[in-house]
Amino acid sequence: MILYCSAVPAELGDLPGEPVGIGLLDALLATAALVARVKPTAVVFVGTAGALPGSGVGIGDVITAQDARLGDAALALGLGYSPRHPVPLDGHPLPGLRAARVVTNVAITTDPALAARYGQDAQVEHMELYGVALACVRAGVPWAGVLGITNAVGPGAHAQWVANRAACERAARGAARAAEPAASLAGWPGPR
């Protein structure tokens, strides 16, 4: 059984599933509990995201996650170091959608220099996907992400998100349905 999830009910819409909360930690903890309770064969996260500079991804596009990576502003700007930063987690891109690398941050990036730095390693910024992916990987459950692009990452992101949110949520749900994730994810192995 495919389990759909999203950050909030509005993103999930009429897809059968459950919201996992806003932000990395809520998504990680809620997804881990949900996967343990429901025992799905795969998880498909549906939501909205921002396009990073230079990504070639535009507002209104829908992408599928190639991988999820954990962002850290101190590391990205050379202001700190990590002795063992988490590696990107491979997703299972759904057919018919552009695959993109997704960086998950604790906060939405508004600084152009930080957005440009993240854009060197990823195409899209999102707040929950790494938490969802980590919970799935730890449980041995394949995961996919489908994200509607509401904004360009940077100072104007919030206003763009407000203006484009509803249409991009609908587009992401429609793309997730059209990709037939049950068939696409059938027989895929757990973590790669």
For residues 94 and 2, give the distance between their C-alpha atoms in angstroms, rounded to a whole number: 13
pLDDT at 181: 64
HSE value, Cβ hemisphere, 13 Å, CA-based, for 125:
28
What is the overall mean pLDDT for the chain? 92
Confidence class for position 75, pLDDT limits 50, 70, 90: confident
Q: Where are the beta strands (DSSP E) in the chain?
A: 2-6, 17-19, 42-51, 62-70, 89-90, 98-104, 124-126, 143-152
Contact 73, 105 (CB under 8 A): yes
* % the chain with pLDDT above 90: 82
Bridge partners, residue 126, by sequence: 104
Q: What pTM value is reported for the model?
A: 0.92
**Domains of the chain in sequence order:** 2-76+88-181 (3.40.50.1580)
HSE value, Cβ hemisphere, 13 Å, CA-based, for 60:
0
pLDDT at 145: 97
pLDDT per residue over 44-62, tens digit each?
999 999 999 999 999 999 9
Averaged pLDDT for residues 86-107:
93
pLDDT at 190: 41
For residues 176 and 46, give the distance between their C-alpha atoms in angstroms, rounded to a whole number: 7
